[in-house]
């Protein structure tokens, strides 16, 4: 009987018409409380003893995801009973208190594809809190890693060659390096233009999100030529991988390099013929962040292709180079008309 009730509740949530918490779903008191549970299972966001999302936690994907060492990412959204996510005209989303954003990291070649880490962003009364959890080897539960951790992970890069990387689970404070706006933690991935829900969850998207009259256009898929031009897909890639820091309110605001999809024109502040500011040796002795027609003389690309801790961008979140992504950016810059410089 419990399974039937839970399945019925989940179906109603999927359709966007229910406010009741599923019988085997998340524990709202723990979600909105002030504790930092030691075990991921305490939240009830996953089916007991598994890495499968619990009833009512909506799985979603992104048109263009953040690159994280070729990790597969399983994402989910939990909205509290009766709560709606308010979508602003610019595509950013105001999630109600009691929301949880879930992201699990795994690699096909590591531990049978079981997740290595799950990160939670929880909207509590005093703002968002970010919590990293490291999974047990058998995939039955995960333990809070407030101080972060280094884990050996077996993975394959762009060339398909197997290798082992030292994967960095961020500590609680490092999450703020990316998830920061004016000093506060905020979500960065689930913007309306980037969200994708499977057909079975379209009712959730329609019923649990309050949309503006004019819905934001979808972001192109960086790796799908049918979704946009080279320039459009390159800008989508930069928006997702860089703009959470490179915006006027972000942690890299002093650089003057702003890489947002909709708000920043493709001019000097976007890096085109922009001379280095606060770049240190990250400029590699080059004159411009982007020199049209010359990817080999563009230090934006130089930094994205570096693994040197004093040069590499992003500063956290990767220990490998995303060759396919850099090939797209290289093509974009090479196709720009050369300037007089």
60 shares its domain with 198: yes
pLDDT of residue 16: 43
pLDDT of residue 7: 36
Last residue of a domain, one of 148, 181, 210: 210
- Output the CA–CA distances (angstroms, integers) from residue 55 to 2, 26, 44, 312, in the order listed: 12, 8, 9, 40
67 shares its domain with 180: yes
18 shares its domain with 162: yes
Count of helix runs (H) and strand runs (E) in the chain: 7, 14
193 shares its domain with 233: no
Q: 219: closest CA among 53, 64, 22, 14?
A: 64
312 shares its domain with 289: yes
In a domain, 54, yes or no: yes
Q: Read off the pLDDT of residues 165-222 as tens digits, 9 standing for 90 and up.
A: 999 888 766 655 555 555 667 787 788 999 999 999 999 999 999 998 888 889 999 9
200 shares its domain with 239: no
Domain residue limits at 309 = 225-334
Domains: count for the chain: 2
pLDDT of residue 251: 79
Last residue of a domain, one of 210, 242, 261: 210
Q: 329: closest CA among 259, 245, 269, 254?
A: 259
Count Cβ atoms below 10 Å from residue 107 Cβ, excluding itself.
Answer: 20
133 shares its domain with 240: no
pLDDT of residue 109: 86
């Amino acid at each position: 009987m419990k399974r039937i009730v839970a399945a019925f509740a989940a179906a109603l949530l999927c359709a966007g018409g229910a406010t009741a918490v599923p019988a085997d779903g998340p524990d709202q008191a723990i979600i909105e409380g002030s504790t930092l549970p030691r075990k991921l299972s305490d939240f009830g966001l996953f089916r007991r003893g598994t890495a499968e999302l619990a009833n009512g936690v909506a799985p979603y994907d992104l048109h263009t995801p953040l690159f994280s060492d070729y990790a597969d990412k399983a994402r989910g959204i939990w909205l509290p009973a009766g709560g709606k996510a308010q979508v602003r005209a610019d595509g950013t989303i105001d999630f109600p208190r009691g929301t949880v954003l879930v992201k699990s990291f795994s690699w096909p070649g590591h531990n049978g594809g079981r997740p290595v880490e799950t990160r939670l962003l929880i909207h509590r009364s005093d703002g968002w809190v970010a919590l990293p959890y490291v999974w047990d080897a058998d995939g039955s539960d995960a333990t809070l890693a407030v101080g972060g951790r280094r884990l050996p992970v077996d993975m394959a890069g762009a060339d398909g060659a197997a290798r082992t990387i030292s994967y960095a689970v961020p500590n609680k404070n490092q999450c703020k390096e990316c998830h920061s706006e004016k000093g506060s933690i905020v979500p960065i991935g689930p913007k309306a233009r980037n969200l994708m829900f499977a057909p079975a969850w379209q009712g959730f998207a329609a019923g649990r999100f309050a949309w503006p009259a004019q819905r934001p256009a979808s972001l192109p898929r960086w790796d799908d030529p049918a979704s946009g031009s080279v320039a459009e897909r390159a800008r989508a890639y930069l928006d997702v991988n860089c703009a959470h820091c490179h915006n006027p309110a972000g942690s890299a605001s002093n650089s003057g390099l702003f890489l947002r999809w909709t708000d920043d024109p493709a001019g000097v502040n976007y890096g085109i013929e922009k001379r280095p500011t606060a770049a240190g040796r990250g400029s590699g002795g080059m004159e411009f962040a982007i020199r049209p027609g010359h990817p080999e003389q563009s230090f934006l690309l130089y930094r994205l292709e570096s693994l040197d801790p004093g040069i590499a961008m992003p500063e956290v979140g990767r220990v490998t180079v995303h060759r396919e992504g850099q090939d797209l950016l290289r093509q974009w810059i090479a196709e720009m008309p050369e300037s007089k410089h």
